[in-house]
Amino acid sequence: MSAKAKRFTSRGRAAARFVAQRGLLVPVAWSTVKVEVHGVKKLKKVGKAFIVIANHSSHLDAPLILGSLPMRMSRYLAAGAAADYFFDVWWRRGLTGLFFNAFPVDRSGVNPRSVSAKVLLQKGVPLLVFPEGTRAKDYRKRGHFKPGAAALAISTGVPIIPVALVGAGRAHPRGSKWPKPGRLPVGVVYGDPMFARPGEVPNDFMARIKAEIESLLAEHSPRILGSDAPPAPEEGPKS
């Protein structure tokens, strides 16, 4: 493992990250919304390496996942972050690394970075990936789920943990600087761990993952959001 990659498994960094996450990030984020968590018991048999995949509509998304995962699973969790934004200046790169153990994801596909997500998984570092690549403008719609994380799971044999984030974009919409007042309800719903089927290609596997997330959203949104729940899942524009 390269020197850059070793920071993801550093015990010292993990201790500092624990203080930053549990002492500041998670308490502040969770204090602004009313959170329901479902499905954590499904994760009991998941090993060290896995990939969390969730829909993405809010800056609350990562703190909600970090605060709801069991500690053994969140301690070294490395979140994929847009290289062109979170790694473009030193202070943002430092904060993203401290709070999220982040690794750079190149959204253009033309400038691969030195830290390999595959190597991290092989070394037992779990990943958090938002396959839409950016926050949705409308929390009721999902964009195209890029198949990269599915390809990683296929090549390494690790499970995908599908997560439905309910109402996060409604509570803290894209473009807003702070969540709406009143502690609006949000939900974090974990699905059963998913493995690729024999011979399954990344696009097909990711389609199944997205369908599972859509199913979890459809099942839990009405109860969590009440009258504000979207009537049916909608596809956003392909990207």
For range 179-206, the mean pLDDT: 97
For range 45-72, the mean pLDDT: 95
- Write down the pLDDT at residue 89: 59
- Write down the pLDDT at residue 100: 79
Which of these ranges, 72-76, 92-96, 136-140, 214-218, has the smallest mean pLDDT?
92-96
Query: pTM value?
Result: 0.87
In CATH, what number does 3-234 get?
A: 3.40.1130.10
Query: In 3D, which of 129, 10, 132, 115 has the Cα closest to residue 62?
Result: 129
Tokens in use for 5? 């990659």
* 187 compared with 14, residue with greater pLDDT: 187
Q: Determine the Cα–Cα distance for residues 146 and 149; give it in Å rounded to an integer.
A: 8
Domain boundaries, the chain: 3-234
Classify 165 as helix, strand or coil.
strand
Q: Determine the Cα–Cα distance for residues 141 and 97; give it in Å rounded to an integer.
A: 29
Residue 111 has pLDDT above 50, yes or no: no
- DSSP-H helix ranges across the chain: 3-6, 11-20, 26-31, 61-68, 71-74, 83-86, 90-100, 117-122, 148-156, 168-171, 202-225
- Residue 95: Cβ within 10 Å count: 14
26 DSSP 8-state letter: H
pLDDT tens digits along 1-26: 565 677 888 889 889 888 888 889 99
